Structure 1
Amino acid sequence: MSIARLWTVARLELLQRVRTVSWYVLLGIFAVLLIGVTALAFLAFGGIVSQADQRGAGIYSTIVIITLLLVVLVSPTLSGNSINGDRDAATLAPVQVTLARTSEILLGKVLAAWITGLAFAAVAAPFLVVATLAGGVDPVVVVVSLAVLIVEIGIIAAIGVGLSGLIARPLFSVAATYLVVSALVFGTLIAFGLGATAFSSEATTTYRPAMYNADGSPQCVDGADDCWNDPARMVCGAPQDSTYTVPRFDRVWWVLAANPFVILADATPAEYNGYGQPVDLFGQIASGVRQAQIPPDLATVYDECRPTMRDDVATPAEIRDRTVPSWFVGLGGQIVVAGLLVAGAWSRTRTPARALPPGTRIA
């Protein structure tokens, strides 16, 4: 494989995009959206985060997540017709008869789509700097989050290029790319919610109430009326059992491992305040996913005559410490899917072609 030929293919692909005015309009719209998001984030985290020197972490995480969201929405359009679009325009065959190999053509188009997606991250860079200057952003968080963001952009680009090589029609390949990306982003959430309900369990709650007089005072076993602060002296009724259905998120939490936003949040080191609460969106998303790993309590007791003060409620920081990360599993699965799609596209694009779909244009 020649790096020079690979970069030549990527450069040609990039030049075709840069020459269009719509490309700059798209980047401009993205910058305007980031201005609004950054302003709202300053207002939101200025009130949510009590410590002013930590609000920058929340603003930074918001900008990174919005950047990934917009790339997810735009990248399928830019990469989903990379190969079949050139085939329809009769520009693929002239490249195939050069010294460039099929693998170099495919990887060059993946690289071009990747760089195109990274252009959005480059537009977001000034806003990330502003958020960092607001204070509270750990340099490790910056490095890890940006690394995961760059990898996710590359995976989405590879998925689009792979489908554009497997599907003959550009419109269908773009739609298929959107479906695959939507399955990762929204499908995992739907499967998580429906799966938790489908695998639900029956829980039981036992409640023993205290008996009260007509004036609202508790009935005491010794006939007194001063047992408010002594539950052991209260007259209690018969225990009452009630059953209800509890969704079992702990059985399907692994579905979220393939979600790009969960991967980004779970891989990024979380930042917490003095009470163990997350100060950014990364920590909030990761805390929700980690909380889903903990099985629910299927037998609870509430006794007004034997009240217990629960002091074992775990903070999000403690929950993260005692649960397992899943980001590397989801990221590995995404890489495998993208690799298989690109390999399939190579099989359909290589020359000489053994078989082509009916109506496929060659030159």
Structure 2
Amino acid sequence: MNSMTRMWTVASIELRQRVRGAAWYVLLGVFVFIVLVVTLFTTIGTWNTEAPGAVLYSVIVYFVLLLGTLVTPALSGNAVNGDRENGTLATTQVTLVSTTQLVLGKFVAAWITALAFLAAALPFLVFALVLGGASVDTAIVSILVLAAELGVVAAVGVGVSGLIRRPLFSVVTTYLVVALLSIGTLIAFGLGGMVAQREVTVVNESIDWDASTGDIDPDTGLPENPVCEPYEYTYTVPGFDAVWWTLAANPYVLLADAAPTHFDRYGNPDDLFGSIKYGVRQAQLPPELGQGWSECEPQYPVYDQDTAREVLDKTVPSWAVGLGIHVLLGVGLLVGAISRTRAPARKLAAGSRIA
């Protein structure tokens, strides 16, 4: 029996234990029902748009990611210490299965369990593709990134369960890590933008009607010899361009940034992935400062605003960096779990139970 076979043996035992009771099937049934409701309402709401399938597809993928990050920590956060607390870990450790194969087998089982939710949502994703508007390249990339993110959450749960002795604490810690990536990055982005805000002084000019002379031009509404009085206006703008990188580790931003973007006939992104990507990429651009106006000009200045395509072309993608951070986090926790679970242990805290 080689190492891969032993690892798969551990994973298959874990999977059989998970599907033995009815609770697992009830959970999948509830998940499918919720996705069905989301699909129904999203289809109705986007029926008259140019690409209803593109919007529906991105919404379903995000919903699978949301539920996956909510359920996977509960299923993987006690994978190792749960066996230790039940006294069954020692039985496995005296076999030919190494500690590395044991931990990785539990990780594979947790990842497959998370992918089951993605598999359950496949009929709805196919319906979105048939509905029209969704692009094949966007579908393929988003599915691959979604599967990788579910694997990262599974790795975090299994890794933390090997590092922390109590199952309850390890599950809570896994949720905290997921919350840090999903919500903490948004909070850091918002607070960082406020801290990095800068003052902007704009000089505007308004007409001094008492000092102006001449008749009123009927075309412009201005006197022939207008006199303008300048005045300064100072305000602050957030410095999001200095902290945009904090969103690179956000799984929802990562998914949107990795998915290829397609545009409608008006130049706007045709799905939720593109809309989120456009909003996040705009944060990379420094705000245009000091644009004043003058009433003495026949026409107010017209400020050109970049289109969504232009914004995406002039900014840099960050999904590869974010995915690298996630992979390093998951691998690091798994390595720590292997070291902590290895028997005989080199050093134990008081009251610890290795098996």
Place the TM-score, normalised by the shorter chain, in its bin: over 0.9
Map residues 277-296 of structure 1 onto 2, 5 A cutoff: 277-296=268-287
Deviates more, 1:36-45 or 1:251-260: 36-45
Q: Would you say the 8 A contact 1:208–1:236 is kept in 2?
A: no
* SS in structure 2 at match of 1:301: coil
Cα distance change of structure 1 residues 354 and 292 upon mapping to structure 2, 3 Å threshold: same
Q: Would you say the 8 A contact 1:249–1:293 is kept in 2?
A: yes
Map residues 91-170 of structure 1 onto 2, 5 A cutoff: 91-170=88-167
Distance 1:105 1:314 in 2: 53
Who is 2:339 aligned against? 347
Cα drift, residue 312 of structure 1: 2.1
Give the partner amino acid of 2:158. V
C-alpha root-mean-square deviation of aligned residues, in Å? 1.7
1:187 corresponds, among 184, 188, 193, to 184
Cα drift, residue 234 of structure 1: 6.5
Who is 2:259 aligned against? 268
Q: TM-score, normalised by structure 2?
A: 0.95
Cα drift, residue 338 of structure 1: 1.0
Who is 1:23 aligned against? 24
Q: TM-score, normalised by structure 1?
A: 0.93
Q: Deviations over 1:227-251 (max 9, x none)?
A: 4426584634411111111100000
Cα distance change of structure 1 residues 108 and 312 upon mapping to structure 2, 3 Å threshold: same
1:331 equivalenced with 2:323 (yes/no) = yes
Who is 1:216 aligned against? none
Cα drift, residue 358 of structure 1: 3.2
Map residues 294-313 of structure 1 onto 2, 5 A cutoff: 294-306=285-297, 307-310=299-302, 312-313=304-305
Once the two structures are aligned, what percentage of the paired residues are identical?
50
Q: Deviations over 1:106-159 (max 9, x none)?
A: 111110000000010011101101111110111111110000000000000000
Distance 1:311 1:238 in 2: 22
1:229 equivalenced with 2:223 (yes/no) = no
For structure 2, list consecutive stretches of 5 or more residues without a partner in the other structure: none
For structure 1, list consecutive stretches of 5 or more residues without a partner in the other structure: 214-218
Give the partner amino acid of 2:103. L
Q: Would you say the 8 A contact 1:276–1:318 is kept in 2?
A: no
Who is 2:174 aligned against? 177
Distance 1:299 1:115 in 2: 54
Cα distance change of structure 1 residues 232 and 159 upon mapping to structure 2, 3 Å threshold: farther
Who is 1:74 aligned against? 71
1:320 corresponds, among 301, 312, 320, to 312
Q: Would you say the 8 A contact 1:206–1:242 is kept in 2?
A: yes
Q: Deviations over 1:86-123 (max 9, x none)?
A: 10011111111111111111111110000000010011
Distance 1:69 1:163 in 2: 20
* SS in structure 1 at match of 2:104: helix
Cα distance change of structure 1 residues 44 and 233 upon mapping to structure 2, 3 Å threshold: farther
